Amino acid sequence: MIGLRVEHLDHPLGIHTRAPRFSWRLPAGGARQVAYRIRTSNGWDTGRVDSDRSVLVPYEGPPLGSAQRVTWRVRVWADTGDLGWSSEDWFEMGLLRADDWTARWIQPREDEVPPPGERPAHLLRTLFTVDGGGPARLYITAHGLYEAFLNGVRVGDAELTPGYTQYASRLQVQTYDVTDLLRPGANALGVVLADGWFRGQTGALRSADQWGHHVALLAQLTVDGVPVSITGAHWRTAPAPIVADLIAGEQTDLRSMPTRWASPVFDDAAWTGAIGADHRFDILTDSPAPPVRRVEELAPVAVTRPAPGRQVVDLGRAINGWVRLRGLGPAGTRVVLTHGEHLDADGNVTTDHLRPAFPFLPAPLPAGMVDAVVSTGRPHETFEPRRTTHGFRYVQLDGHAADVTGVVVHTDMRRTGWFSCSDERLNALHEAALWSFRGNACDIPTDCPQRERAGWTGDWQVFVPTAAFLYDVAGFATKWLRDVAADQWDDGTVANMSPCPPAEGRGSTVAGLNGSAGWGDAAVIVPWELYRAYGDERILADMWPVMTAWLARAARMARTGRHPDRAAARPTPAPHEKHLWDTGFHWGEWLEPGGSNPFSGADMGDVATAYLCYSAGLTARIADILGSDASGYRELARQARDAWRCEFMGTDGRLAPDTQANHVRALAFDLVPAGSRSAVAARLVDLVRATGTHVGTGFLATPYLLPVLADAGHLDVAYDLLRQDTEPSWLTMIDRGATTMWERWDGVDASGVAHESLNHYAKGAVVSFLHRYVAGLSPVEPAYRRFRVRPRPGGGVTWASAEHESPYGRISVRWTLADDVLAVDITVPPGTTAEFAGRELAPGEHRCAVPHNGGKGRRP
């Protein structure tokens, strides 16, 4: 057996899950599992279990204790015979109880706290001795961002720890194996503590101090399970010569950085004692996700000198992360780094399009993303700002021309999806969507990596199926959903973003913007998509209270309120209005070309009622899976659908509003009667053709546009839209040089001026069409246990291929079209079944050929 995993991680260290789930894969070949047996080092033995289950099998052994390390193996019997025992894998528990901590919270002395963006990081250190050497662990977390060093050596390679969560109720602790960093005798533990999300600027409002006014640290180092170093009043602290803020940037004068400050020999007599702090232990938790890491480095592709003393470095693509500088110049040389996604007409970096602007502010807020460093003049010196992040492609260096390496930073997820085809522009589009996701997966799924960097629910909801094809997002999305749950209001409102900083949540001046349809529905749609991609039922169970409270709120709002326009037009409510959700704030189709402004109070009942129907329907299916009563949700979906029809579908079958988005939703969410589908699709085609075959949808309907056209027999129109290259269209972005997806269709306009974010993955959800229709690979049963291969050639594409590393193993589909014959190579992993051209394919390699009518779109 291969690919042994615990939860969604490779041998996790420090988990809190009391019943971790085991997964394994069968070696490639034709096998199907018929039985398994799991044995753990703490005495759990399942014996032979006749079952084909190999994904997420829960541990049911003796209760697991704090810091307990467990090894496990699995033996599998397949239809081809006994496959024997796997090699050994392990997991280790974290500190599960508050009283496992003897460490106390500490904070550095801060007599005066400068304004956000200008605050120094702090150095904290302690000395301790060890005499014997057993396994050593560092359990550590912070209010702010910590970076730990043992005897001067950096602990681990995780970045931006402890990660971004709803700190009011969830704070992650990392567990590191530090056995190899300790030495007999004196040891020093040092920590750099910066503001991070906890206290630094967050979101478009640039709010700071969202969870507290002071940074703080909690750390406990154990050898053989016994604490040998803990945070407490004996720690020494000093401000660091580093000013760091996630949004503003990081500035340092390397000449002022004490050398060897994290080693035992350093004299910290001039530092001050740490202050004890009274922070919570009961909210400490683990992370179900892999950590953020430096995952890739990029060499510059071009360097220009638009002005004296200035150079502009082009990394060739937009990323999230930072740069590493070498060659910092003679002592005292200062270089200022301005990061951005776009150049102005003179070739300088511009961030004007990224500055948050609001009607209630006199001027747009600063874009930030400016770093600066002053050199010591020492050879081989480097600068790497690890306490900030930037969304950028270009970096402008003023003052000195240092050597630049781009550092790509995001959650270190496993890549699981690939696509390519004969059309290079479609490949470029796929690459842009992929990199937009990579640019927005920095511990949480963000809308954009430069402007507000917030975990907007709607953006992730529309993109999660695409992301789950490209990367293993199971742990990453689970972590985020825990914050969605933590952020939910008592009345069921789901916050716009998670983690939701208090300045944007309940009780804030913008509280009323939370709870929008299509955004809050992430509480239903994201768990559902994770279930589909990974077969994870527990996430459905965990999110059940959240999704049902969200639906109860929507149903209640539908029942109790009326949109003023409707009330004016129809003083007596029609009976169906009890299930029409037309009140509250909604982003609506958001950024729909020519669409209504959500702040105008326009009626968004068509969008909201459609989502009520869709989410209620999904919740009914989830109830079936969990063995709960689905009938109420099925009924709610039916009532919402009827209300939608009564209100938005005329007796002549025409839909209002007469927009692409409304027609797309009607088809995607099954809102119209079966007999009307083809007429609705025909009208959608008319609407598309009336715009000269241009996409007219905004955020919500865009992912469904091409699929509904293809499913309704208009594959040619779907391809025409996909390949359209005049604005608005996807390929306009590619032709204008986009390396990530833009927030707006006119992100860079015809005259080369940038508007808003150039790195928003939402519109990139179109690449699911490449996976599922062009290459033709889509899941039928959870975790791709059963999948469909149905290539839909068109648009002049002569070959396409997709690969997906599913929980059962690697699926691959590759087709070529020649002489009206579609030749398809399919790899079906062990334990799965593929559907192709009306046949069922067993595990193994298959080569199939079917007649094809020259790409006109009939099924092969």
Using CB under 6 A as the criterion, which residues of the chain lie in contact with ligand RAM when the complex forms?
A: 447-448, 456, 458-459, 587, 590, 760
Please give the angle made by the CA atoms of 576, 578 and 580, to the nearest 5 degrees.
Answer: 75
Minimum CB–partner distance for residue 213 and ligand RAM (Å): 27
Give every CB contact of residue 148 below 8 A, 6+ residues apart in sequence: 138, 140, 154, 155, 156, 176, 189, 190, 191, 219
Minimum CB–partner distance for residue 355 and ligand RAM (Å): 13
Q: How far is CA 9 from CA 157, 177, 485, 660, 831, in A?
A: 16, 16, 22, 41, 21
Minimum CB–partner distance for residue 525 and ligand RAM (Å): 14
Give the DSSP H/E element, type plus range, for residue 734: helix 730-735
List phi, psi (to 5°) of 598.
-60, -25
Give the DSSP H/E element, type plus range, for residue 485: helix 474-487
Cα–Cα distance measured from residue 825 to residue 424, given in angstroms and rounded to the nearest whole number:
21
Give the DSSP H/E element, type plus range, for residue 276: strand 275-277
HSE-CB for 155 with a 13 A CA cutoff: 30
In the complex with ligand RAM, the residue whose CB is nearer, 306 or 598, is 598
Residue in 62, 13, 16 with CA at minimum distance from that of residue 41: 62
Minimum CB–partner distance for residue 743 and ligand RAM (Å): 6
Cα–Cα distance measured from residue 472 to residue 416, given in angstroms and rounded to the nearest whole number:
6
In the complex with ligand RAM, the residue whose CB is nearer, 458 or 782, is 458
In the complex with ligand RAM, the residue whose CB is nearer, 525 or 672, is 525
In the complex with ligand RAM, the residue whose CB is nearer, 138 or 700, is 700
| DSSP assigned state of 449 | S
E strands, 181-235, are 185-194, 216-223, 226-230
Give the DSSP H/E element, type plus range, for residue 130: strand 120-130
In the complex with ligand RAM, the residue whose CB is nearer, 187 or 757, is 757
Cα–Cα distance measured from residue 74 to residue 56, given in angstroms and rounded to the nearest whole number:
13
Reduced DSSP (H G I as helix, E B as strand, rest coil) percent helix, strand, coil of the chain, to 5: 25, 30, 45
Residues 537, 577, 743, 803: which is the catalytic one? 743
Q: Do the beta carbons of residue 83 and residue 55 sit within 8 Å?
A: no
In the complex with ligand RAM, the residue whose CB is nearer, 423 or 487, is 487
Cα–Cα distance measured from residue 301 to residue 282, given in angstroms and rounded to the nearest whole number:
49
Indicate if 781 belongs to the active site: no
Minimum CB–partner distance for residue 587 and ligand RAM (Å): 5
Give the DSSP H/E element, type plus range, for residue 277: strand 275-277
Indicate if 727 belongs to the active site: no
Minimum CB–partner distance for residue 701 and ligand RAM (Å): 14
Q: How far is CA 91 from CA 19, 63, 174, in A?
A: 12, 14, 14
Minimum CB–partner distance for residue 358 and ligand RAM (Å): 11
Residues 147, 250, 452, 647: which is the catalytic one? 452
In the complex with ligand RAM, the residue whose CB is nearer, 123 or 765, is 765
Q: How far is CA 496 from CA 286, 456, 489, 610, in A?
A: 24, 6, 11, 19
In the complex with ligand RAM, the residue whose CB is nearer, 263 or 759, is 759
In the complex with ligand RAM, the residue whose CB is nearer, 335 or 524, is 524
Question: What is the tally of helices (H) and strands (E) in the chain?
Answer: 15, 45
Q: Which two tokens stand for residue 700?
A: 């919500």
Q: What is the DSSP string of 623-657?
A: HHHHT---HHHHHHHHHHHHHHHHHHB-TTS-BSS
In the complex with ligand RAM, the residue whose CB is nearer, 360 or 568, is 360
Cα–Cα distance measured from residue 263 to residue 242, given in angstroms and rounded to the nearest whole number:
19
List phi, psi (to 5°) of 822.
-100, 115
Q: Do the beta carbons of residue 327 and residue 48 sit within 8 Å?
A: no
Number of CB atoms found within 10 A of residue 302's CB: 10
Q: Do the beta carbons of residue 217 and residue 86 sit within 8 Å?
A: no
Minimum CB–partner distance for residue 591 and ligand RAM (Å): 8
Give the type of residue at 223.
Answer: V
Residue 128's beta-bridge partner residues?
Answer: 187
Give the DSSP H/E element, type plus range, for residue 92: strand 89-93
Minimum CB–partner distance for residue 644 and ligand RAM (Å): 23
Minimum CB–partner distance for residue 459 and ligand RAM (Å): 5
Residue in 701, 686, 649 with CA at minimum distance from that of residue 671: 649
In the complex with ligand RAM, the residue whose CB is nearer, 243 or 365, is 365
Q: Which residue is nearest to ligand RAM (CB)?
A: 447
Minimum CB–partner distance for residue 153 and ligand RAM (Å): 40
Minimum CB–partner distance for residue 544 and ligand RAM (Å): 25
Minimum CB–partner distance for residue 824 and ligand RAM (Å): 38
In the complex with ligand RAM, the residue whose CB is nearer, 258 or 366, is 366
Tell me the longest C-alpha to C-alpha distance in the chain: 86
Q: Do the beta carbons of residue 443 and residue 164 sit within 8 Å?
A: yes
In the complex with ligand RAM, the residue whose CB is nearer, 287 or 457, is 457
Catalytic residues: 452, 743
